[in-house]
Structure 1
Amino acid sequence: MKTNAGNFFEDFRLGQVIRHATPRTVTAGDVSLAISIYGSRFALQSADTFAHAVGYPASPVDDILVFNMVFGKSVPDISLNAVANLGYAGGRFLRPVYPGDTLSATSEVIGLKANASGKTGIVYVRTRGTKNRDEPVLDYCRWVMVNKRDASAPNPPDHVPNLPRVVDGASLGEGFPRIDPGTWDNDLSGSPHRFGDYEVGEKIDHVDGMTIEEAEHQMATRLYQNTAKVHFDGHAAKDTRFGKRLVYGGHIIATARALSFNGLGNACRIAAINGGRHVAPSFAGDTIYAWSEVLEKAEIPRRPDIGALRLRTIAAKNHPCRDFPGREGEGYHPAVVLELDYWVLMIRWARQR
Structure 2
Amino acid sequence: MSISGKTSRGHFFEDFYVGQVLRHGTPRTITDGDTALYTALFGSRFAVQSADSFANAVGYPQAPIDDLLVFHMVFGKTVPDVSLNAVANLGYAEGRFLLPLYPGDTVVAVSEVIGVKQNSNGKTGIVYVRTVGYRQDGEKALEYVRWVMVPKRDPQATCGPDHVPPLDTVVAVEELGDAVPHIHQSGWDEAQSGSRFRYDHYEIGEKIDHVDGMTVEEAEHQLATRLFQNTAKVHFNQHLAQNTPHGRRLIYGGHVMSLARSLSFNGLSNAFHVAAINGGRHVAPLFAGDTVYAWSEVLDKRELLERDDVGALRLRTVATKDRPCHDFPWKSDAGDYEAGVLLDLDYWVVLPH
Q: Answer yes or no: same fold by TM over 0.5.
A: yes
Structure-2 residue corresponding to 1:330: 335
Structure-2 residue corresponding to 1:351: none
The question of 1:306 aligning with 2:318 is answered no
Separation in 1, partners of 2:224, 2:154: 33
Equivalent of 2:295 in 271, 291, 294: 291
Separation in 1, partners of 2:11, 2:213: 37
Give the ranges of 4+ consecutive aligned residues of structure 1 lying more than 3 Å apart after TM superposition: none
Post-superposition shift, 1:325? 3.7
CA contact 2:179–2:275 (8 Å) conserved in 1: no
Amino acid at match of 1:155: C
Post-superposition shift, 1:181? 1.1
Where 1:192 maps in the other structure, the secondary structure is coil
Structure-2 residue corresponding to 1:249: 253
Amino acid at match of 1:244: R
Separation in 2, partners of 1:263, 1:347: 15
Separation in 1, partners of 2:328, 2:268: 16
The question of 1:191 aligning with 2:195 is answered yes
CA contact 1:269–1:346 (8 Å) conserved in 2: yes
- Unpaired stretches in structure 1, ≥5 consecutive residues: 349-353
Residue-pair matches, total: 348
Separation in 2, partners of 1:325, 1:247: 24
Separation in 2, partners of 1:152, 1:199: 54
Structure-2 residue corresponding to 1:85: 89
Amino acid at match of 2:79: V
The question of 1:36 aligning with 2:21 is answered no
The question of 1:106 aligning with 2:113 is answered no
Deviation readout 1:189-221 (Å, 9 max, x if unpaired) = 001100000000000000000000100000000
CA contact 2:218–2:289 (8 Å) conserved in 1: yes
Q: How does 1:1-353 map to 2 (within 5 A)?
A: 1-328=5-332, 329-348=334-353
Post-superposition shift, 1:307? 0.3
Deviation readout 1:158-201 (Å, 9 max, x if unpaired) = 11100000011232121221111121001000011000000000
CA contact 2:177–2:305 (8 Å) conserved in 1: no
Post-superposition shift, 1:330? 3.2
Separation in 2, partners of 1:321, 1:244: 26
- Unpaired stretches in structure 2, ≥5 consecutive residues: none
Deviation readout 1:2-54 (Å, 9 max, x if unpaired) = 10000000001110111000000000000000000000000000000000011
Separation in 1, partners of 2:274, 2:294: 17
Post-superposition shift, 1:333? 1.7
Deviation readout 1:105-127 (Å, 9 max, x if unpaired) = 00000001111111011100000
Identity %: 64
Post-superposition shift, 1:335? 1.1
CA contact 1:205–1:324 (8 Å) conserved in 2: no
Separation in 2, partners of 1:128, 1:178: 25
